Structure formats: structure tokens, C-alpha cells
Amino acid sequence: MGVASTAFHIFAAMRRAIGRVFLWFFVWLVIGVGAVEAVSYFGLGRHNPGVFTHIGAAIIGVLAGYAAALTVIVREAIRFLIATIQTVEKDVKGELGEGAKLLDRVAAEVAGRSKKG
């Protein structure tokens, strides 16, 4: 049951991460293209930008989207590692707690026998 639960969480995290990567890629793609086109239109006074302006806008947009996507990937990887470490820590504490209870029972049993004998 533990393996299935872990796999479910991994796939859910991957689905969420892929969705965020694509979302932020396209958001920054539009921002990058829009910024270059706006500078060309308003800043340079060219109300009819050329082909090179559109190509440059596309390149800037793709680079901005790529940078945003990589940032999201790194953030999601770190978030996944932190969640994994916390899960392992909780499991280890649970196992250690069981060991402590076992030691307490053994000590109580030994103390009970020593009083009888």
C-alpha cells in the first residue's frame, strides 16, 4: 500500500509541476513578445514594425518563457525533495517510537520478573 501511495503522490506532483511549467512558459512568452513589440511600436516610433522586429520579439519571448519554465522546474524539484524528506522523517520517527515502546515493555517485563525472583 505504501508503494502505491508514494507513486500516486509522485505522479500528482509531476502533473502539477508540468502544468505550472507550461503555464509560466506561455505567460512569459506573451510578456516577452509584447514588451519587444511595444518598445518597437511606442519607443522607436515605428508603427509598422519589420520582420526582424517580429523575429526578435519571438526570440525574446521564447527565452523569457524558457527561463521562467526552468525556474518553476527547480522550485518544484526543491518542493518535492522537502516533502519527501518530511515524509521520511515522519516514518522514521514512527518506527523509532515503536522501538521505544518495545524497549519500555521489555524493561517493564524485566523489572517485573526481577521483583518476583
Tens digits of pLDDT across the chain (117 residues): 455 666 676 777 778 888 889 999 999 999 999 999 998 888 877 677 888 989 999 999 999 999 999 999 888 888 888 887 888 777 777 777 666 676 777 777 777 766 655
Check: pTM over 0.85? Answer yes or no: no
- Report how far residue 35's alpha carbon sits from residue 51's, in angstroms, rounded to the nearest whole number: 16
Total count of residues recorded for the chain: 117
Relative orientation angle of helices 2-38 and 51-116, to the nearest 10 degrees: 150
Contact residues for 63 (Cβ-Cβ < 8 A; gap 6+): 32
